[in-house]
Chain A
Amino acid sequence: MAALWAVSGLRPRPGPASPWSLPPPPRPAKSSLWCSRTESELRVLDMAASAVATAASKGNGGGGGRSGPSEGSSARKKKFPGPLATAYLVIYNVVMTAGWLVIAVGLVRAYLAKGSYHSLYYSIEKPLKFFQTGALLEILHCAIGIVPSSVVLTSFQVMSRVFLIWAVTHSVKEVQTEDSVLLFVTAWTITEIIRYSFYTFSLLNHLPYLIKWARYTLFIVLYPMGVSGELLTIYAALPFVRQAGLYSISLPNKYNFSFDYYAFLILIMISYIPLFPQLYFHMIHQRRKVLSHTEEHKKFE
């Protein structure tokens, strides 16, 4: 892996990533290596990222990630995303990396300006909404097959993030000043910067070990941090939902239907209990597999 990096002459760019100055997409000759190493890692690490992304992936059944069971060995993919798709994905991932960097910088600047870490949500509200909602495109990527992940799982994961942003934080104004919001926003921000830069490097066919390590290690702290922030925020929103009857319909009505958003939020919170441990320990397992696999591979270089 290190040898390949040296040979390709690519270096990670320190400045803002410009899509137009990127090297051309990998030639077919390299694709088999891409398929055998980073492709399977992509699948494996997709699971890691998706697990860190959220715990509320329902219907997961056994804590699987975005794709099926990962193979540590070379899983050659027959449908390799063409050069156009690869270029698009590189652009997408670079833009997302940049977006979450903007959020990170915004948080830091707001903290320095205010002198406290309370109510920082307002300073990054717009980019947070924009870039997190933009992740909906990832569902499309799976649906059209340029990313080898399950549409269903990706949908659950992205939708639950989007749910927290719009249906909880945006909708219940009173929770926006809660510290729990900062907790999950920070966790998400660090995770997403690593995840999207990981994808970018993988697509460009050289992956610095640091990024891989980060993606597989930081979740140990970030994942519980994010889940705590999410749960505390939902919990904080409950009384206001009850008071305002937010998003709730009661009987009688023409369609003989009722919905209690308060009860729904409680159900969501309860669903974290079976899901979080499954995903967390699955990722720990993946970590052992992938990081030890790399160690072995390094021995042969």
Chain B
Amino acid sequence: MKHYEVEILDAKTREKLCFLDKVEPQATIAEIKNLFTKTHPQWYPARQSLRLDPKGKSLKDEDILQKLPVGTTATLYFRDLGAQISWVTVFLTEYAGPLFIYLLFYFRVPFLYGHKYDFTSSRHSVVHLACICHSFHYVKRLLETLFVHRFSHGTMPLRNIFKNCTYYWGFAAWMAYYINHPLYTPPTYGAQQVKLALAIFVICQLGNFSIHMALRDLRPAGSKTRKIPYPTKNPFTWLFLLVSCPNYTYEVGSWIGFAIMTQCLPVALFSLVGFTQMTIWAKGKHRSYLKEFRDYPPLRMPIVPFLL
């Protein structure tokens, strides 16, 4: 069996960084990255981007050396992706924050409101209900991160954790401040409004969870396969008939429910910003589904049935 030689050059300076000889033709890019790390330990595999062309796309970890359009001496170009952090770590941090921060305001910990309100409790039942809903939502997210989600990518750039945490923690504090404020005004239509909002919230939480489970079942453990998601026996998944990313649809629905429940403008604004971001993601996902699968169901819209 003929062995390959691999030379790795810096994509920007074309400097020769590493020369590997006697590489198996069946070697994957992941294995080459591991070999590269041996000579340059500061560049662990997750922050390596190897490509055939300095300005081209990154090669995938699963790509096999023999199948690439290279001769027996392959030249790969390296780009440093910067410090990386695992998705799981980011998710856990960004979700634990709101859970904790909201409770600080709920229990009216000192220095958040006037001193005479320290550790007092709201007299409105909707405030207690809102705390339960908000906390449930983030506990659900944490558990899903640990036990349900199967991530395509292991890592993301480190700076994302600062960006994401600022967003989640900031909005959580802003919302929690008003909902748990001593001068909070309960919803105009009283118990009726709260009941309706709670129903919307619960349905959407169940829906969102159902979709996460369905997506998980599409992909076997440890793999990175991509398949078209279809409705299952669970009625909540029937939204797949109309929408590519029903998890986002249900998520927006949950927050709209929470906004109606608390009748709090910051919650509505948070829902709006979240909706905007999720729409961008849904459109991207929808586009890549269409590109990858020729038989993709035509009725589906990215996030809002028939509309968006």
A252→B264 contact, CB < 8 A:
no
A251→B181 contact, CB < 8 A:
yes
Could you mark each residue 252-269 of chain A with 1 if its beta carbon is under 8 Å from any beta carbon of chain B, else 0?
111111100000000000
Given contacts A251-B183, A253-B185, A257-B264, 4 further A-B contacts (CB under 8 A): A254-B188, A256-B263, A256-B265, A258-B178
Residue of B nearest to A254 (CB): B185
Q: Is B8 an interface residue (CB 8 A)?
A: no
- Of A251, A252, A256, chain B has the most CB atoms within 10 Å of the CB of A256
B179→A256 contact, CB < 8 A:
yes
Interchain CA distance A258-B266 in the complex, whole Å: 9
A256→B188 contact, CB < 8 A:
no
Interchain CA distance A256-B179 in the complex, whole Å: 7
Interchain CA distance A253-B266 in the complex, whole Å: 13
Using A251-B183, A252-B183 as known contacts, say yes or no to A257 and B178 having CB atoms under 8 A apart. Answer: yes
Interchain CA distance A255-B178 in the complex, whole Å: 9
Q: Is B184 an interface residue (CB 8 A)?
A: yes
B263 surroundings in chain A (CB, below 8 A): 254-256
B184 surroundings in chain A (CB, below 8 A): 251-252, 256
Within 8 A of A (CB), among B175-211: 178-179, 181, 183-185, 188
How many residues on chain A are close to B (CB under 8 Å)?
Answer: 8
Q: Is B262 an interface residue (CB 8 A)?
A: yes
B264→A255 contact, CB < 8 A:
yes
Within 8 A of A (CB), among B114-160: none
Residue of B nearest to A251 (CB): B183
Could you mark each residue 70-99 of chain B with 1 if its beta carbon is under 8 Å from any beta carbon of chain A, else 0?
000000000000000000000000000000
Give the interface of B toward A (CB within 8 A): 178-179, 181, 183-185, 188, 262-266
- The distance from the CB of B185 to the nearest CB of chain A, in whole angstroms, is 5
Give the interface of A toward B (CB within 8 A): 251-258
A252 surroundings in chain B (CB, below 8 A): 183-185
Residue of A nearest to B178 (CB): A256
- The distance from the CB of B115 to the nearest CB of chain A, in whole angstroms, is 17
Sampled A-B contacts (15; CB under 8 Å): A252-B184, A252-B185, A253-B185, A254-B263, A255-B264, A256-B179, A256-B181, A256-B184, A256-B262, A256-B263, A256-B265, A257-B178, A257-B264, A257-B265, A257-B266
B188 surroundings in chain A (CB, below 8 A): 254
A254 surroundings in chain B (CB, below 8 A): 185, 188, 263
Interchain CA distance A251-B266 in the complex, whole Å: 13
B265 surroundings in chain A (CB, below 8 A): 255-257
B262 surroundings in chain A (CB, below 8 A): 256
A251 surroundings in chain B (CB, below 8 A): 178, 181, 183-184
A255 surroundings in chain B (CB, below 8 A): 263-265
- The distance from the CB of A195 to the nearest CB of chain B, in whole angstroms, is 32
| Across the A-B interface, the 8 shortest Cβ-Cβ residue pairs | A257-B265, A252-B183, A251-B183, A256-B264, A255-B265, A256-B178, A252-B185, A254-B185
Interchain CA distance A252-B188 in the complex, whole Å: 13
Residue of B nearest to A257 (CB): B265
- The distance from the CB of B296 to the nearest CB of chain A, in whole angstroms, is 29
A253 surroundings in chain B (CB, below 8 A): 185
Residue of B nearest to A253 (CB): B185
- The distance from the CB of B116 to the nearest CB of chain A, in whole angstroms, is 15
Interchain CA distance A254-B188 in the complex, whole Å: 7
B185 surroundings in chain A (CB, below 8 A): 252-254, 256
Residue of B nearest to A258 (CB): B178
A256 surroundings in chain B (CB, below 8 A): 178-179, 181, 184-185, 262-266
Interchain CA distance A258-B264 in the complex, whole Å: 10
- The distance from the CB of B177 to the nearest CB of chain A, in whole angstroms, is 9
Residue of A nearest to B269 (CB): A257
A257 surroundings in chain B (CB, below 8 A): 178, 264-266
Interchain CA distance A256-B122 in the complex, whole Å: 14
B266 surroundings in chain A (CB, below 8 A): 256-257
Interchain CA distance A254-B264 in the complex, whole Å: 8
A258 surroundings in chain B (CB, below 8 A): 178
B179 surroundings in chain A (CB, below 8 A): 256
Interchain CA distance A252-B183 in the complex, whole Å: 5
- Of A252, A254, A255, A258, chain B has the most CB atoms within 10 Å of the CB of A255
Interchain CA distance A145-B140 in the complex, whole Å: 44
Residue of A nearest to B185 (CB): A252
B181 surroundings in chain A (CB, below 8 A): 251, 256
Residue of B nearest to A252 (CB): B183
Interchain CA distance A58-B54 in the complex, whole Å: 33
Residue of A nearest to B175 (CB): A256
B183 surroundings in chain A (CB, below 8 A): 251-252
- The distance from the CB of B82 to the nearest CB of chain A, in whole angstroms, is 15
Interchain CA distance A251-B180 in the complex, whole Å: 12
- The distance from the CB of B257 to the nearest CB of chain A, in whole angstroms, is 16
Interchain CA distance A253-B263 in the complex, whole Å: 10
Residue of A nearest to B177 (CB): A258
Residue of B nearest to A249 (CB): B265
Interchain CA distance A258-B262 in the complex, whole Å: 15
Interchain CA distance A258-B265 in the complex, whole Å: 9
- The distance from the CB of A252 to the nearest CB of chain B, in whole angstroms, is 4
Residue of B nearest to A259 (CB): B265
- The distance from the CB of A297 to the nearest CB of chain B, in whole angstroms, is 27
Interchain CA distance A252-B263 in the complex, whole Å: 13
B178 surroundings in chain A (CB, below 8 A): 251, 256-258
